[in-house]
Each structure stands twice: as C-alpha cells, then as structure tokens.
Amino acid sequence: MGDYTLAPASTLIVGMHGSGKSTFAYRHLINTPAAARFIFDDLGRAAVRLNIRPCYTASELEASLATRWSIFNPHRMFPGDPKTAFKFFCQWVYDTSRRGPGKKLFLVDEVWQWQDGRVMPRELAMVVQTGREENIEFVCATQLPHDVNDAITGQSTELVCFRLDESKALARIRELRADTETVRNLPLGSYISYDRLDPTCQLAGKVF
C-alpha cells in the first residue's frame, strides 16, 4: 500500500433512486488518493460501473490489493448467505487495513440492508467505530437514511444529500441539520454537501 496520509472521515450519501448518489460514491473513490479501496458488491453493479473485475475468493481479494481496488462479489464463497458474506468482508477490510499505512476507502451501498436502527453486526461496528485508528474512511449510500443505525450517522463527518421526498427520510436528515426544503427541491443529479463538524461549511454540485 502507498504512503497516503490524508485524514480519515466518514461519508454518508443519501438520495432517492436515480438521484446520483451511487455516481457520486464511485467518483469519490476514484478521485480520492488512497492506498486501498474496498467495495461490497452483492448485486454486481459496482464492478460493471467501474469496469473492474470483481473478486470471488479470499485469494483473489489478496491479489487485488496490488491494484488498490478490491471489489467483492460474495455469491461464490457464500451462496445464498449475503449477510454472512458482509460480515466476512467487513472483518477482512479491517484486518487488511491494519497491515499497512495510508488512507483506505470502504464503500457500502444501501447500507440499511446489513444493519438496522438498533443492531449492527460486530464486524461493521468495528469498522465504523474504530476504523479511524486504521485510517479507514467508511462511505455509505442509502435511499433510507431513517433506517441507518445511529452509530453510523453519529460517526459521519460529511453528509451528502441528493434529492429526497419521502417524509421519514427528510425528517432524519433534518435531525442531521440538513436543509430539508433545499434537499426536497434538488434537481436529479445535483447535491448539497454538509460538513457535520462545521454546519456552516456547505458545498453544492452535480454529477449529471
């Protein structure tokens, strides 16, 4: 792994289907200097979008570290059991990140599938709550911010909002100090980003 020393963060990306949140997430991984990038790709979409061959086995994951991109498709190692696969990958990401210096990015799309508002797998909790010590930036995207565990939202340092119009989702981002009227009226492809450590620091942009 290379000597990348940017400070870690935790990025929460929210938005309705087709709003641009996944595009933002992939571009964030591409454009951020990092020693390693990890993606849990149970639907196979990330590998296609990024045109990167996914890993299906533990040995392929190890080999992928040389490329700085490790995209894990779990269906060969864990057929019919994606939740166990997710726990395995979280543990592997954490253990792997401890082996070398530099910033690491770990992307989980639709994170609500792997936890709920009350309980989070121990392996995911370890990444979210102590990953900063291993220079891991946890990046998650969701259509349902109200179903994301408080430990994840509480650790997030950046909130990136694409358009939302569901009342529970808007209520949750209001609690995170986002301007819900602005978010509700965003055009598809546009976003507003909030620095949760300094709510006065905002950035607007678009991905398409």
> Tokens 């935790």 label which residue?
10
Q: Is residue 108 assigned to a domain? A: yes
Q: Is residue 51 assigned to a domain? A: yes
8 Å CB contact between 120 and 153 = no
Query: Which residues constitute the domain of residue 142?
Result: 10-206
Q: What tens digit of pLDDT does each residue of 167-201 get?
A: 999 999 999 999 999 999 999 999 999 998 887 88
Q: Is residue 5 assigned to a domain? A: no
pTM of the model: 0.93
Predicted pLDDT at 5: 43
Residue 156: pLDDT above 80?
yes
pLDDT tier at 4, thresholds 50, 70, 90: very low
Q: Is residue 117 assigned to a domain? A: yes
> Tokens 């591409």 label which residue?
30
Q: What is the mean pLDDT of residues 150-163?
A: 93
Q: Is residue 133 assigned to a domain? A: yes
8 Å CB contact between 156 and 142 = no
Check which CATH number belongs to the domain holding 183 and give it. Answer: 3.40.50.300
Q: Is residue 3 assigned to a domain? A: no
Q: What tens digit of pLDDT does each residue of 99-131 get?
A: 999 999 999 999 888 887 678 899 999 999 899
What's the domain count of the chain? 1
Report the amino acid identity of residue 168: K
Q: Is residue 38 assigned to a domain? A: yes
Q: What tens digit of pLDDT does each residue of 11-64 get?
A: 999 999 999 999 999 999 999 999 999 999 999 999 999 999 999 999 999 999
